[in-house]
Amino acid sequence: MRIAHLANMYGPKSGGLRTTVDRLAIEYAKRGHQVLIVTPDKTYSENDTDAIRKITIKSPLLPGSGGYRIITNLRAVRTALESFAPEVIEISDRTTLLALLPWAKRKGFHVTLFAHERLNEVGKIFFPLIPGKSRLVRKWNSWSRAYVDRLIATTTFAAQEFEEFGEVAVVPLGVDHEVFYLRESWHNYLMMPAGRYLFACTRLSKEKDPRFLLEVAIEMKRRGIELPLVIAGSGPLVKNLEDVISEHSLDVRLIGYINDKATLAQYMGKASVFLAPGPIETFGLAALESLAVGTPVICRSSGAISEVISERCGRALHRDASNWVDEIENLLSIDRSLLACWATERAKGFSWQKTAQSLEQIYQEFDNQPRFIHVA
């Protein structure tokens, strides 16, 4: 099978989306498929590696996004697709790349749309005062759904926005167990109180609500709890967070985006608790990776991470700093060996192999010689 995978807002500091695009391509290639990945960048480029071909399209920066780019040259995308002659179209993007849908329909492609975000929830955060948002989002979703053959969500929470337009298949994402696994040396490290810290890995942008992490840090300081908070990630709110940290003299360290997965796994594995503040996460890949290395997770009850964790290895709470600090103390009082066992056992249920296999089964439902495109 030849699978073309298109992705907007994919770059050097992308988080879960970049991991998803790359890992799916690797799994598809392992299963004997040819893969094309098309993403935005500063310049046009082509790179071939075994069964995976990568093309970047020169694209403008998205204002206020902290460095993300978005493809506007759809002619270049169509040219790349026609040259590759894909048998598969998957779409994860909900912006400019959806303009390809009518063209794909005319070409006879079967199209799968991935719902990686909840547009209705994003609209509430970024455009709270604009009237009629729900109606506009519903019309956009209805139009998009009419052009696709299959709709995929990674969690029930992600699927809810599209349920009124027909069947939505829920296909969870995976975790790389060769990188994210419990090391005995990390477990021993956690037995030393002086080495304990909290860890968060999130994009520092409005929809992720990283400011809430600092509210948790302020509450900890008020209670006299000496436990550093380490935050990995980048984004447009860095300066704002630095100002709050300085103003309140918080024991919070912003270490920037971590590109190396082994290094990220080490930070996660040595942490006492992983904090996931995002209120509208549609999966929460970093939280799953944290479970895989044996670290319990506290997340927002409003998003999808509550579907990824279990009661034994995590907590899903409302946005209340006092409650979060209570649960941090509770988790610190539980034997870490038990928590690590429960966390890793939960993570074993997720793998990229399972994700790719599930998608293959869905694609087999299409008619003769199915054709798909993945636009992320």
Using pLDDT thresholds of 50, 70 and 90, give the confidence band for residue 166.
confident
Report the share of the chain in percent with pLDDT over 70.
94
Summary mean pLDDT of the chain: 90
pLDDT at 229: 97
Q: Nearest-CA neighbor of 269 among 296, 233, 297, 293?
A: 293
Q: Nearest-CA neighbor of 374 among 100, 65, 173, 160?
A: 100
pLDDT at 314: 96
Using pLDDT thresholds of 50, 70 and 90, give the confidence band for residue 66.
confident
Mean pLDDT of 154-180: 92
Block residue for tokens 């337009």: 165
Inform me whether the pLDDT recorded for 278 exceeds 80.
Answer: yes
pLDDT at 257: 93
Which tokens sit at 257? 């985006």
Strand locations in 168-284, DSSP E? 169-170, 198-201, 229-232, 252-256, 273-276
pLDDT at 252: 97
Over residues 119-146, the pLDDT tens digits come to 777 777 777 767 777 888 888 889 898 8
- 41 phi and psi angles, rounded to 5 deg: -160, 180
pLDDT at 185: 73
Q: How far apart are CA 351 and CA 21, in angstroms?
A: 14
Round to the nearest angstrom and report the end-to-end CA distance of the chain. 19
Strand partners, 5: 37, 374
Q: Burial, 167: exposed, middle or buried (Cβ in 10 Å; 0-12, 13-18, 19+)?
A: exposed
pLDDT at 269: 93
Q: Nearest-CA neighbor of 96 among 112, 74, 121, 67?
A: 74
pLDDT at 63: 83
pLDDT at 372: 42
Over residues 71-85, the pLDDT tens digits come to 999 999 999 999 998
Domains of the chain: 2-174+351-375 (3.40.50.2000), 184-347 (3.40.50.2000)
Using pLDDT thresholds of 50, 70 and 90, give the confidence band for residue 62.
confident
Whether the Cβ atoms of residue 263 and residue 232 lie closer than 8 Å to each other: no
Please state the separation of Cα 25 from the chain's center in Å. Answer: 16
Using pLDDT thresholds of 50, 70 and 90, give the confidence band for residue 167.
confident
Q: Nearest-CA neighbor of 215 among 327, 330, 323?
A: 323
Inform me whether the pLDDT recorded for 10 exceeds 70.
Answer: yes
Over residues 279-324, the pLDDT tens digits come to 999 999 999 999 999 999 999 999 999 999 999 999 999 999 999 9
Q: Distances from the Cα of 179 to the Cαs of 4, 158, 268, 310, 345, in angstroms?
A: 27, 27, 12, 22, 16
